[in-house]
Structure 1
């Protein structure tokens, strides 16, 4: 399967701060109303490459730092920090070119020995960087014993969503190859301002809510199985044939469902079965689907507005969700669960929905906000995000060839459950699935759905 982090060492050669290339302008950038819906946590991306055919590692590192400095000049928030703006009376992004940590390292392990299936053991604390305190971005470039290259990127989720992170990394890769970036980012705020007067559908109250800290819990932890419910990271692949079968089952009632809806429905039932197996059949089981609003907000707009939304750098997400008890879900067929998923997802795919979110946040922005699916006690919630549209496999080329494997990475410190589906580096029909879930659920999934969820390893990608 591969070796974990305890079996190899990583030596940091240099840890320096890279700044945006001049000229740059010191300025403050307010968070948008969509940014204010994101908790203060980080999200990472990691890319593995086979040995470059020509350049040596010192040359590669110097080239990457030089192109990064140029890329940061186009993305000033990433070289800044989150800080309190006294003049505005709110937390904002200070684009002050404080710079980012750029870590250069070497690891005494070859690419084919890495345990991709358990990234906590081979990636966490090994191949992923740390950010400057209050910083937005951190990058680590690691040379493996086989001369393969690993690039890890960690970013503050309040500043970027997956679409934006991918935009930046693609730009950095393009500029490393002396290629003109395919998209120039937009940091405008006027196209995401609330309407006057504000108004919104009451349905928004079913998607987001003010965040209230949970009441303090007693110290009596008797009976809590901490090991089984600790969050772990796992990476699987799903063969295209299995995805097609799930889609056929989800379509049994005559309504065509997407593969994402079919997959989400199947996973929702599996998590419910795991909860029921643990005696939690009467608790709530919530599934959230992240929906990007860029295309929705530009519907029937002029081309200029469409370009602004397509290149908007930041968060533009809604988080619709469904809630059922495990007992309810386990009594339903997959096609009926898919109907439930489609019903809560459909209202969040309209332009009006995202305009409503902007207005709702405007009226509630003086207090922390959160996805309503995460509110309450005695619940299990997980988010599904579709990353197939991100250019992780074919376009993130820094000049030494196609990515061998690219993935998101969730820090182990994050307490929310997260699932991302991604394209496969092997073929266009398969999916890669990244999970940040309790060990109890991943173990149950592997035991009862091993025909669908197969551990991702180097044999699959034929290293």
Structure 2
């Protein structure tokens, strides 16, 4: 059912306005019986929070006669088709008899918002998603588990965005859905059909786990109320997007690789951010935590054709390490990279993930969360880094070309700072880096290491002339 009107998104940071032209619920085109889908043990580690993914497209040059209205109809029809396979996304989150969340797959529908923005693509402040994206180009999540928004820019550019409940799926899963939606829009067919078989993540009988998980995860009921931060201009969480060139990333990797050991680019970058966060911390004796999101599909899978590669849900762990700000400031990048490699080592194996599944089973129905999210009275800063390799811009062609920019938006409201790494749409090895940090930390990052992280601009997303 559609509702029309010139509704205006409310925003206190507006240098342009977005008018909502219509809202409707898009349901799966084929009916299915009502299904109750439980969350897996790994889903249950996620608190209620929403995350957004968006792609910005230039005016379609390959299809100059394609109107925005036609593009919207293509997206609606293909969404209805893809929801036949991704049917939980058309449902809603409800509590079961134990008070745990489950997905009621009732084909209630995905809220589909059509909007118009009174700005051209060239006028967008790509570096500042708080002003450009928040409350404007990404939708608020409604009653269901996902909402989507398609926005027309004045230059005929198009923005396609979705906001989902993080408890239903990780970045791999949302990327899989977005790629499937684009494929159906473009070809009317689907290559990879998802599965929601929770048995793939079943606990063992009897279960067992390493005692280190007691330090990595904590019962939510045992946590004291979150710390209150004073409202000053230097300690407000803000979001920014940066560009990291492939050449700078390679140099960073070389600097972090010591003693004949080559570190990965993820390890090298995480070590740098850890050091820069420590540099921005006034208390040299305080500890600084670093957590890294690790995908468990390859660790739990048996062979390249494992069903887990098509599994929709959360299959992640967030191991973390800590070091004093003093050590991180004074010691070289290679030392920090070695520490990063060590914290990853405990989670990049099958036993860690199977043990984590068993661990949650032993705690149910008491909800748990990763400890790095929480900041206690004696804790210093914490940061979580996630590398969304599966959010591949090359798979996001809805029929009018590849995106000019693809990014996430995740102002999650937790105590830990958050960094999301995505490949550049140019496919040249550059990274697009989303950061949700304190203002003074971002200032340190922009100045650190010779300014290798540069505020994202149009020049960074434009192919160089040969």
CA RMSD of aligned residues (A): 1.9
Count of paired positions: 447
CA 1:379 to 1:190, structure 2 compared with 1: closer, same or farther past 3 Å? same
In structure 2, C-alpha distance between the alignment counterparts of 1:164 and 1:426, rounded to whole Å: 23
CA 1:437 to 1:28, structure 2 compared with 1: closer, same or farther past 3 Å? same
What are the equivalent positions in structure 2 for 1:46-61 lying under 5 Å apart? 46-52=54-60, 53-61=64-72
Q: Which residue of 1 aligns with 2:385?
A: 384
In structure 2, C-alpha distance between the alignment counterparts of 1:314 and 1:347, rounded to whole Å: 22
Q: Which residue of 2 aligns with 1:29?
A: 37
In structure 2, C-alpha distance between the alignment counterparts of 1:188 and 1:31, rounded to whole Å: 10
Q: Which residue of 2 aligns with 1:105?
A: 115
SS in 2 for 1:295: helix
Structure 1 residue 37: deviation in Å?
0.8
Higher mean C-alpha deviation, range 103-112 or range 376-385 = 376-385
What are the equivalent positions in structure 2 for 1:109-124 lying under 5 Å apart? 109-124=119-134
Structure 1 residue 406: deviation in Å?
0.5
What are the equivalent positions in structure 2 for 1:41-440 lying under 5 Å apart? 41-52=49-60, 53-86=64-97, 90-133=100-143, 135-212=144-221, 214-215=223-224, 224=230, 226-275=232-281, 279-299=282-302, 306-375=305-374, 376-377=376-377, 378-391=379-392, 393-411=393-411, 413=413, 415-440=415-440
SS in 2 for 1:226: coil
CA contact (8 A) 2:78 2:188 kept: no
Structure 1 residue 281: deviation in Å?
2.0
Deviations 1:61-95 (A, max 9, x none): 11111111111111111111110124x65321111
Structure 1 residue 453: deviation in Å?
0.6
Structure 1 residue 5: deviation in Å?
5.3
In structure 2, C-alpha distance between the alignment counterparts of 1:451 and 1:253, rounded to whole Å: 26
In structure 2, C-alpha distance between the alignment counterparts of 1:256 and 1:218, rounded to whole Å: 39
CA 1:280 to 1:401, structure 2 compared with 1: closer, same or farther past 3 Å? same
SS in 2 for 1:177: helix
Structure 1 residue 283: deviation in Å?
2.1
Gaps of 5+ in 1: none
SS in 2 for 1:379: coil
Structure 1 residue 140: deviation in Å?
0.6
CA 1:386 to 1:171, structure 2 compared with 1: closer, same or farther past 3 Å? same
Higher mean C-alpha deviation, range 343-352 or range 328-337 = 328-337
Structure 1 residue 243: deviation in Å?
1.0
Q: TM-score, normalised by structure 1?
A: 0.92
In structure 1, C-alpha distance between the alignment counterparts of 2:113 and 2:13, rounded to whole Å: 18
In structure 1, C-alpha distance between the alignment counterparts of 2:237 and 2:158, rounded to whole Å: 28
CA contact (8 A) 1:102 1:138 kept: yes
Gaps of 5+ in 2: 1-11
Structure 1 residue 314: deviation in Å?
0.3
CA contact (8 A) 2:381 2:416 kept: no
In structure 1, C-alpha distance between the alignment counterparts of 2:440 and 2:227, rounded to whole Å: 24
Deviations 1:396-425 (A, max 9, x none): 010001111101111365554210111112
In structure 1, C-alpha distance between the alignment counterparts of 2:226 and 2:252, rounded to whole Å: 41
SS in 1 for 2:187: coil
Structure 1 residue 97: deviation in Å?
1.1
Deviations 1:282-335 (A, max 9, x none): 222111000000111014x6x7xx431101100000101111120121122111
SS in 2 for 1:460: helix
SS in 1 for 2:233: helix
CA contact (8 A) 2:26 2:76 kept: yes
4+ residue segments displaced more than 4 Å: 216-219, 412-415
Q: Which residue of 1 aligns with 2:462?
A: 462
In structure 1, C-alpha distance between the alignment counterparts of 2:126 and 2:452, rounded to whole Å: 18
Higher mean C-alpha deviation, range 205-214 or range 241-250 = 205-214
In structure 2, C-alpha distance between the alignment counterparts of 1:89 and 1:65, rounded to whole Å: 34
SS in 1 for 2:31: coil
In structure 1, C-alpha distance between the alignment counterparts of 2:280 and 2:227, rounded to whole Å: 27
